[in-house]
Amino acid sequence: MPDLEIRSLTECRVGIAPNGRTIEGYAIVFDSLSQDLGGFREVIRPEAVDRTLKEALDVRALVDHDSGKVIGRTRAGTLNLRKDPRGLRVSIDPPNTTAGRDILESISRGDVSGMSFAFRALTDDWRTENGTPVRDVSDMTISEVSVVAFPAYSATNVDVAQRSLREFQARQASSPIALLRRKLQLTLAR
């Protein structure tokens, strides 16, 4: 999956459901500027999750992005994704398996507190803010959400976004304004 990108947040908690074992949190917080992702920052817009929800994509909930530790799935009804003004809220009914019991215990103890998501950006726009490139993602498909031990942006895969950043920088370098700046600099250097 070469275009798959992963992002992590630091918000996850165990909630109480009728069965007493539901994991709840936000996999995505909207309109929040990320940390540095390797030379750029990123914002996920509220409309970015609409396609996944409208098309009822089959999203899985994992532990640490490990496909061997599935703890929920939208098609099975054990993973619920809900958009609210703050972000994409996740509710997971984990199985009574080793992975399910272990992650519930780790969250309850406070050892694990992060949420993460994997996605493919379909529409993004680039801008510069205070000299730093910023990527606004406005459409994507979400393939999975994960409860993670290390919710640090620096530990995520940003290769696809880096390619998109290079394309943005190339477009900026060949823009009419950039060309005029270079011409002016050459003229002043003489």
Question: Token digits for 40?
Answer: 């750029």
Nearest CA-CA partner of 141 in 10, 24, 28: 28
Sign of the four-CA dihedral 36, 41, 47, 53 = negative
> How many Å apart are CA 40 and CA 74, to the nearest integer?
32
Question: Token digits for 158?
Answer: 């940003």
Q: Point out the residues of the chain with pLDDT beneath 50.
A: 1, 12, 14-16, 152-160
pLDDT tens per residue, range 37-72: 888 989 999 999 999 999 999 999 999 999 999 999
What is the pLDDT at residue 185? 62
What is the pLDDT at residue 156? 37
pLDDT > 90: what percent of the chain? 48
What is the pLDDT at residue 32? 87
> How many Å apart are CA 38 and CA 52, to the nearest integer?
27
The kind and range of the H/E element at 161 are helix 159-173
Question: Token digits for 154?
Answer: 């620096």
Half-sphere exposure of 35 (CA within 13 A, CB side): 11
What is the pLDDT at residue 108? 81
Mean pLDDT of the chain: 82
What would the DSSP string read from start to end of 55-123?
TT---EEEETTEEEEEEEETTTTSEEEEE-SSEEEEEE---SSHHHHHHHHHHHHTS--EEEEEEEEEE
Residue with token string 């940390």 = 35
Alpha carbon 75 to chain centroid, angstroms: 21
